[in-house]
Amino acid sequence: MRTEILQLAQLLGTSEKVVLDLEKKMNQASGKEGVIESIVRENEHKVRQSLVGLGFGADENFFDIQAEEVYQALIKKTKKTNQSLFEHFQKPDLMTAAGCRSLIHATGELTGNLNGFYLKKEKAEELLKLNPPKQIMNSLGYGSDIDKMIEKEDCFEIFSALRFAEDGQWLNDVFFKPYSELKKDDFEKREIKVMVLPERWTGLGKKFFGNKLHHMSHLKEAGMVFIIPTGASGPNEMLYLFFMILHYIYEVNWHSRLFEIYSQKSDFARKLVGALKVGVGEMPPSGKDEINWRIIPKYLGKKNPEDPLLAEPHINPESLHYTQAAATIEKFAQRFNDLELGFWQGLDMVAQYFPSGKSAKGESISFDLFDNGISFLRKADFNSRFLYHQKEALWNKVFSEYMGEKTINKLTMENLDKGYISL
């Protein structure tokens, strides 16, 4: 068995048999050879380069370094990156809308204030009137007077609050049901809106999110990215907010383009609802000479790192959006060389197994900014470190190295509703 096959299988969390079958069929589909070797060499080069950047000696046998040491060095580097960003933005108070303003402005400038195909305000108001959000209305003092609330309040602010102020079952069974009747004319072209919800939502935000990591969300259909106040945001969230705002902007924009394509179809509403549900569909077995790549539109590894679907060839659209955000962060780093961001360039798919007393085969260490950023924010110890972003980025990397970056985006959009790509 070739060493590169063994190494890539280990990094992907799959078997050598899966990688061998993938290589054979992808070589045939793309007309390329040597892709596996190229990916493994690139990964090893970036690991060595990163270890030097972390302060390990260039003359050391890098792969004898203990996994725990590498992880702690990455967290230390992440902390420095976070602090440099915090100082760059003049040490803002991230618990307030005013404090986040410069960060939001910077992300808008970096992404080009993207326009997209989003739900009209009038339609959003109609949906609210059709099924009034009782918890929100009571919280804001409107009782049952939906007309007064719509007259006085920002419609999309209320739409954002639905995600954390109303019961999830009510949202799915009642509020979202009329989405199945949405039409092309219910949408319009306008700019993505990024906002911090006003401080009055802090109480509800705290009640819903508690000590959870995520107090950000987005509305793909409404073209919104929003930060939910919990009263707990602090300096250590700077890096997290930076890459998550960018990630969500690109995710919302990607879905906008998808919805615009769907709007030309007779089953527009069905396709739109399917995309918003973020489900993982069934996939037939691959034929003798073909390979099926499952489309997994969410991070399954977040809940279960051992999910068997993660060992199949698959594409993760979420990871495509993050890779785009990482590329934008790299451009930002080039403009501001004094920041600690340059270190992370091109590391979103990079990982390596290092020796550890905890495991005979060693332990995987992700060099990805997203994984380490969240590990830092969560104060995760070695055993609870985050790894899932890197693995998904690497699966995407394998596909795009064979078929091209434009092709992975194109085929994912074309086949998202089906749930897989056949080659």
Q: In 10 A of CB 175, how many CB atoms?
A: 18
Query: CA 367, CA 326: separation in Å to the nearest integer?
Result: 13
- Segments in the chain below pLDDT 50: 211, 213
- Residue from 340, 313, 329 nearest 395 by CA: 313
**Would you state the pLDDT for residue 340?**
82
- Exposure pattern of 263-290 as b/e (b: 16+ CB <10 Å)? beeeebbebbbbbeeeebeebeebeeee
Q: pTM for this one?
A: 0.93
**Would you state the pLDDT for residue 357?**
81
Give Cα separations from 399 to 14, 22, 85, 112, 294 (angstroms). 15, 10, 33, 28, 11
Give Cα separations from 339 to 70, 75, 112, 359 (angstroms). 21, 16, 22, 36
**Would you state the pLDDT for residue 233?**
64
**Would you state the pLDDT for residue 87?**
94
By residue count, the chain amounts to 423
- Residue from 42, 1, 7, 15 nearest 397 by CA: 42
**Would you state the pLDDT for residue 211?**
46
Question: For the segment 19-46, what is each residue's pLDDT rounded down to a tens digit?
Answer: 999 999 999 999 999 999 999 999 999 9
Give the distance, in angstroms, between the CA of residue 1 and the centroid of all CA atoms in the same chain: 34
**Would you state the pLDDT for residue 43?**
98
